[in-house]
Amino acid sequence: MGLGKLTLVLGGAASGKSARAEALIVASGLSRVYVATAQAFDDEMEDKILRHQEMRGPDWRTVEEPLDIAAALEGVREGEAVLLDCVTLWLSNHLLEESDLEAETERLLAALDACPAPVVVVSNEAGMGVVPDTSLGRRFRNAQGRLNQELAARAELVMAVMAGLPMVLKGRLPE
């Protein structure tokens, strides 16, 4: 059994979710596409992006797209597997752009449905912490929770990662 059409990998910050998602793509044996949504606005994020690139190595085709995931997925072909890392930053980017989150979420979900390749989506579980003290923080947390629910409902495999360990919430790990 290989990767299904959509896999969702959830976890907190620095939980190991990206490494787990990368391992799923590598194990698929398909050509690897990495859709990166991060933007390096400071040195710390620039270093994090470089670490992720070094961990992946050169065997990935990288598409940097902080906002338009639909356009990034249009270039994907059968025989490839996509790692979308991560929808949390994608959502943050749209919040900061003051985009219509409902419309952008619909575009994202339609693009995932139309993609001819399996997609592994990485997302943060943002609802298990403290209640944010700002309106923007609460708006983000709520939007992230709704997005995660939409993705989980569509996904064949949903796993949470804590301390680098996967916990399958829905479906079965590929053999």
Q: Report d(CA 88, CA 119) in Å as an integer.
A: 16
Helical H runs in the chain?
17-28, 43-56, 69-74, 87-97, 101-114, 135-154
Residue 52 is a catalytic residue: yes
> To the nearest 10°, the Cα dihedral for 144, 130, 160, 103?
0
Q: At what angle do helices 101-114 and 87-97 cross, to 10 degrees?
A: 140
Tokens of 48: 């994090």
Active-site residue, selected from the candidate residues 16, 26, 27, 52: 52
- Name the 3-class secondary structure at 64: strand
Catalytic residues: 52
